[in-house]
Structure 1
Amino acid sequence: MSLNNFINKKLFLLAPFLLLAACATEGEEASLSQDQDTASNVSTDMEEDDPSSDVSNDANEVSVSEEDVENESNSDSIDQQSASSEANTENDSSSNVVEAEPIRSVLGGTSRGITPTKIEIPAINVDAVVDGVGLEPDGAMSVPDDGDTVGWFNRGAKPGAQGNSVLAGHVDDLTGPAIFFDLKDLEAGDEIIITGENGDVLTFQVMGKESYPYDDAPIDLVFGGTSSRNLNLITCTGEFDRNVGTHRERLVVFTELVDDSSV
């Protein structure tokens, strides 16, 4: 069972931007290399055509010609230094774009919050380990390997931080019901308790829940930036579609931080 299609199309929107930044960097390096080759060719031509080798020129003409060559050589050197400075400036700017974490512009969130290691949901008897999950090679959100573990999307906000923190778990697996099988039974006011790696404990309260088609879920609402400190729980629901290998819908339980003494 996979959640891969869930956020796949949204995360890929930034790929063209990164490719553009990379192409700009390579173009500047190629341009600089061509300028240096041109300057080298000019210098070689000047040495071969040095007026001092022509016996028919008088001393004054030789002196003037050598001065012109020196001036042109200095000019070429200045042009090369200017081109190098401009290229370095362009490359520094491009490097800043490439090194910036691209997913931030989609997901939002701050650096505050805790790294979750455990989730408890008393209303449905859930007590499970939480592991961080990232992105698959195709850009989709990874999911836990087994049905008893909950995955926290560690490329987004941490629980307790401003933004939408996202946890996902399987509704079932090959052995039967999985960790989030009863997630559909949660009601407004139920508590979600998150324990962090340093022992900090945060309490969230269910605000509502909604089911969406697996290929048409509101990515911005679930993963996007917000001034609230939200924790959204996701699992599969609806009938299993054998043609696509997943359930036809995604259940999202929306919760909000009510006890922030640890953050």
Structure 2
Amino acid sequence: MINGVVLALTASVAFAFTTTEQGPPQPTPAAQQASAQHEAAAAPLPAARPLRVTIPAIGVDAPLTDLVLQSDGHLAAPPETDANLAGWWAHGPSPGTRGTAIIAGHVDIPTGPAAFYNLGALHPGMRITIPREDGTTARFTIDAIDVYAATDFPDDKVYADTGRAELRLITCGGGFDRTRQQYKGNVVVSAHLTR
């Protein structure tokens, strides 16, 4: 049940520490205020394990690993041994089914930028595709790109079931606190299934 784990998921997405002065791109105020021309939502697909996440606009083509909740209630992060790896919450909706599917990825790892480094450069209307184990591909259109402070993360807005097939891509962002050696928040991309 998604409502039982939203707080744990929020806290666990502060994955890695930046090693660059400039840091990853962050959504611009204009991108955050923009909204996509609402393309009609497609009917949900049957459940199937997602294999990859591709985002042509920023050159992402990353395999997906299963992510589960750890004993402390936090969502486990993808291993930091592969910069081009993301993960999906395997006990939630699979991408393309009714509900809000969650895919999380590192913005960077100790060796440098990772799969979701450029997530903050996306804009509403751009596309995300998820090839699935049953041979189908779930295609999503981005509705919004937001940055949320870790101390004020809107669980209900990000994780709520809207009654249609939706997707959230989550990574670290919102600036880097060098004193605490962690990101101050998260970049969240919201999208809906369009075919």
TM (normalized to structure 2)?
A: 0.74
Deviations 1:148-177 (A, max 9, x none): 211101121111111110101111111111
Answer 1 or 2: which has greater strand percent. Answer: 2
Distance 1:229 1:240 in 2: 32
**Residue equivalent to 2:62:** 128
Question: Which letter does structure 2 place at the counterpart of 1:7?
Answer: L
Q: Does 1:154 align with 2:90?
A: yes
In the alignment, structure 1 residue 137 sits paired with structure 2 residue 68: no
Percent identity among equivalent residues?
A: 35
What is the distance in 1 between the residues matched to 2:68 and 2:164?
23
Give the residue type in structure 1 aligned to 2:8: N
Counterpart residue number, 2:50: 116
1:181 corresponding residue in structure 2 = 117
Tell me which moved more, 191-200 or 214-223: 214-223
3-state DSSP of counterpart to 1:123: helix
Matches for 1:7-26 after TM superposition, within 5 Å: 7-8=7-8
* Whole-angstrom distance in 2 between the partners of 1:116 and 1:217: 26
Quick check: 1:218 aligned with 2:179?
Answer: no
Q: Paired residues, what number?
A: 156
* Aligned residues: CA RMSD: 2.2
Highest RCO, 1 vs 2 (Cα 8 Å, sep ≥ 6): 2
Contact 1:156 1:223 in 2 (8 A): no
Structure 2 unaligned residues grouped into runs of 5+: 1-5, 12-43
SS of 2:61's equivalent in the other structure is strand
List runs of 5+ in structure 1 lacking aligned partners. Answer: 1-5, 12-109
| Residue identity opposite 2:173 in structure 1 | T
* Residue equivalent to 1:26: none
Task: Say whether residues 1:249 and 2:185 are aligned partners.
Answer: yes
Contact 2:10 2:153 in 1 (8 A): no
Q: Secondary structure at the match of 2:96?
A: coil
1:8-87 matches, within 5 Å, as 8=8
Shift of 1:112: 3.7
Does the Cα contact within 8 Å between 1:133 and 1:143 map onto a contact in 2? yes
User: Distance in 2 between the 1:240 and 1:190 partners?
Assistant: 26
Q: Distance in 2 between matches of 1:7 and 1:149?
A: 24
Q: Which of 151, 157, 164 in structure 1 is aligned with 2:100? A: 164
Check whether the contact 2:104–2:170 (CA below 8 A) recurs between aligned residues: yes
Q: Could you say which structure has the larger radius of gyration? A: 1
CA distance in 2 between partners of 1:129 and 1:218 (Å)? 28
Q: Which is richer in helix?
A: 1
Assess, with a 3 A threshold, how the Cα gap between structure 1 residues 148 and 245 changes in structure 2: closer, same or farther: same
